Amino acid sequence: MICAVCGTESRQILFRPSAPEQAPDLDLRPGQPLRATMGRWLQQCPNCGYAAPDISEAHPAAAQAVAAANFRALLNEASHPPLARRFLAWALVLEETGALHAAAEATLQAAWTADDLGRPELARAFRLDAVALWRSGPPLDAEQTVRVVDALRRAEEWEDAANTARALLRENPPEAVAQVLALELRLIEARDAARHSVASALPPPARRPHVSHQGSVRRGEGLLGWLRRLFRR
Ligand SMILES: [Zn+2]
């Protein structure tokens, strides 16, 4: 693989995601088996540190982002686990190209890697960074707002989480979104910052969607796609 930023050649694994079989978390972190493959979601150039799903491609602004002082500082940030740094590096590139919501997503993914390593203080900081990026971009849709609520709850920002959830409920969101928000509000009330599955928010007929008995899941779409459609309906 040739790095599109610096031209260095390196060996990289081509990642082909498999459809998740388990329901995602409330922040749409996919269920297993996809959940456990985060180490392969991004490639990273061993020379310049550019990180992306495919480092042979780069936005014209990527080289500038990679050369910036904050990017170089991030690569040397020894207190951050290497996998978290890779997602944050991709987030910085996305932020530089103006893709703030995608940068927020990559930053949330860095939080997931911190969760997996048992680093709650880092996960909390990354979640709050992700929320700030989401809020600095264009207006959020219902699905993104649910993820902001969940990030705030898991970062123990109870009041902000509850207010954000209630504000979206007042806008009469789709039923599935309302159900997830109702669960979020119960969890916030109970000061529960743990991870929970979307399956626990949805009513029984939709609780265990599967192609064999749930016609609403389209062929090849997978549970995540189905949920995304639910949220966007
Ligand atoms: Zn490079």
Q: Which among 76, 26, 30 is positioned nearest to 49, based on CA atoms?
A: 76
Those residues whose C-beta lies under 8 Å from the C-beta of residue 46, and which sit 6 or more positions away, are 8, 10
Please tell me the distance between residue 127's alpha carbon and the centre of ligand 1 in angstroms.
28
CA of 34 to the centre of ligand 1 (A): 27
CA of 73 to the centre of ligand 1 (A): 16
Residue 194 has pLDDT above 50, yes or no: yes
Separation of CA 162 and ligand 1 centre (Å): 43
How many whole angstroms from 5 Cα to the centroid of ligand 1? 5
Query: Do residues 131 and 96 make contact, with C-beta atoms less than 8 angstroms apart?
Result: no
Tell me, in angstroms, the distance from the centre of ligand 1 to residue 55's CA.
Answer: 8
Predicted confidence band at 199 (pLDDT cuts at 50, 70, 90)? confident
In 3D, which of 152, 111, 112 has the Cα closest to residue 132?
A: 152
Q: Find which of 23-27, 114-118, 197-201 is predicted with most confidence, using mean pLDDT.
A: 114-118
**Spacing, Cα 107 to ligand 1 middle (Å):** 21
Q: What is the pLDDT of residue 226?
A: 57
46 CA from centroid of ligand 1 (Å):
7
Query: pLDDT tens for residues 61-84?
Result: 999 999 999 999 999 999 999 999
What average pLDDT does the structure give for the chain?
89
Contact in structure between 32 and 21 (CB atoms under 8 Å): yes
User: How close is the Cα of 47 to the center of ligand 1, in Å?
Assistant: 5
HEC assignment per residue over the chain? CECCCCCCECCCCCCCCCCCCCCCECCCCCCCCHHHHHHHCCEECCCCCCEECCCCCCCCCHHHHHHCHHHHHHHCCCCCCHHHHHHHHHHHHHHHCCCHHHHHHHHHHHHHHHHHCCCHHHHHHHHHHHHHHHHHCCCCCHHHHHHHHHHHHHCCCHHHHHHHHHHHHHCCCCHHHHHHHHHHHHHHHCCCCCCCEHHHCCCHHHHCCCCCCCCCCCCCCHHHHHHHHHHHC
What distance in angstroms lies between residue 49's CA and the mean position of ligand 1's atoms?
Answer: 6
For residue 96, report the distance from its CA to the centre of ligand 1, in Å.
17
**How many whole angstroms separate alpha carbon 113 and alpha carbon 96?**
22
Tell me the per-residue pLDDT of 133-182, one tens digit each, with 9 for 90 and over: 999 999 999 989 999 999 999 999 999 999 999 999 999 998 889 999 99
What distance in angstroms lies between residue 59's CA and the mean position of ligand 1's atoms?
13
Q: Which two tokens stand for residue 32?
A: 């297993």
- How far away, in angstroms, is 206 Cα from ligand 1 center? 45
